[in-house]
Structure 1
Amino acid sequence: FGWLFISRFTSLCVWSQIQLIQSGAEVKRPGDSSVKESCKGSGYTFTSYGISWVQQIPGKGLFDIGWINTDTGAPAYRENLKGKVTMTLDKPLSTAFLLVSSLRAEDTAVYYCARHTERETSFGVVQKKELD
């Protein structure tokens, strides 16, 4: 097996005082590993807006993973990813999590979280790269 390098670098995007922040880094082995991404919201009422997760596979477009209702905690997943990804919340920390399990080479992608809103979207970035 090769190795996957999971780089969750700090990414801060601001619209007014709205922020989504992700950070961290780790190396994972495909096949028996998982990675938990985080997306911390601030500058707004966290439970008032859902959080979506999106992946961008190298050389391809954006693909919707799903979203989580930050008020009820109810997730909705893209059909072919059920069982592969799990979305959860820590409401007191205003943080959404995405767990990607059983990592494979094809899971190499840039992962984005996005806050739902009627007027604008704020993005945090998680990047996953394969090491040779």
Structure 2
Amino acid sequence: QVQLQESGPGLVKPSETLSLTCSVYGDSVRSGDYYWGWIRQPPGKGLEWIGNVFYGGSTSYSPTLMGRVTISRDASRNQFSLTLTSVTAADTAVYYCVRQKGQGGGVIRWGVVGPGYPSHRLLSDYYYYMDVWGKGTTVAVSS
């Protein structure tokens, strides 16, 4: 049985950096069959996809968070992590780590997002579905 467990601070001050870690049990982040990602749900709102990392280390991010978010994996610890910089109250949410499967017929292209950014995968007509979820961890941004 595959299980995911989030860990990290429950409270972060505005303008600081949020760091969360997801430990994977019963599967490997080295697996080429899945993406490992993060989703959040702000209070009273719907689920928001943050991004994910593939087994080779390539990443995809939500355009609304691009430039503030980094997702990486640590194969030696079988973990993957989320880093979100310059947080505001709008980043208050329950954060879930997930195992994702990609599906669709779209072309996967590569492009440089901007100066100083590595190449990120740009997806067209492509979607992810989540088959394993962590229990979620609540993060509040407040001074």
**AA at the equivalent of 2:133:** F
* 1:104-130 C-alpha deviation (Å, 9 max, x unpaired): 011101111111248972212121125
User: Counterpart in 2 of 1:18?
Assistant: 2
* 8 Å CA contact 1:86, 1:99 repeated in 2: yes
Shift of 1:55: 1.0
The structure with more helix, counted as a fraction of residues? 1
* Correspondence 1:39 to 2:12: no
Shift of 1:50: 1.1
* Correspondence 1:108 to 2:92: yes
Per the alignment, in what secondary structure is the counterpart of residue 20 of structure 1? strand
* 8 Å CA contact 2:13, 2:142 repeated in 1: no
User: Counterpart in 2 of 1:129?
Assistant: 140
**AA at the equivalent of 1:44:** D
User: Counterpart in 1 of 2:35?
Assistant: 50
* Cα distance change on mapping 1:89 and 1:107 into 2, 3 Å: same
* Cα distance change on mapping 1:109 and 1:120 into 2, 3 Å: closer
**AA at the equivalent of 1:74:** S
Per the alignment, in what secondary structure is the counterpart of residue 92 of structure 1? coil
* 8 Å CA contact 1:37, 1:126 repeated in 2: no
* 8 Å CA contact 2:14, 2:86 repeated in 1: yes
TM-score (norm 1): 0.77
Task: Measure, in 2, the Cα distance between the counterparts of 1:104 and 1:73.
Answer: 28
- Once the two structures are aligned, what percentage of the paired residues are identical? 33
**AA at the equivalent of 1:60:** K
**AA at the equivalent of 1:110:** V
TM-score (norm 2): 0.71
Shift of 1:68: 0.8
The gaps in structure 1 that reach 5 residues or longer are: 1-16
**AA at the equivalent of 1:129:** A
Per the alignment, in what secondary structure is the counterpart of residue 83 of structure 1? coil
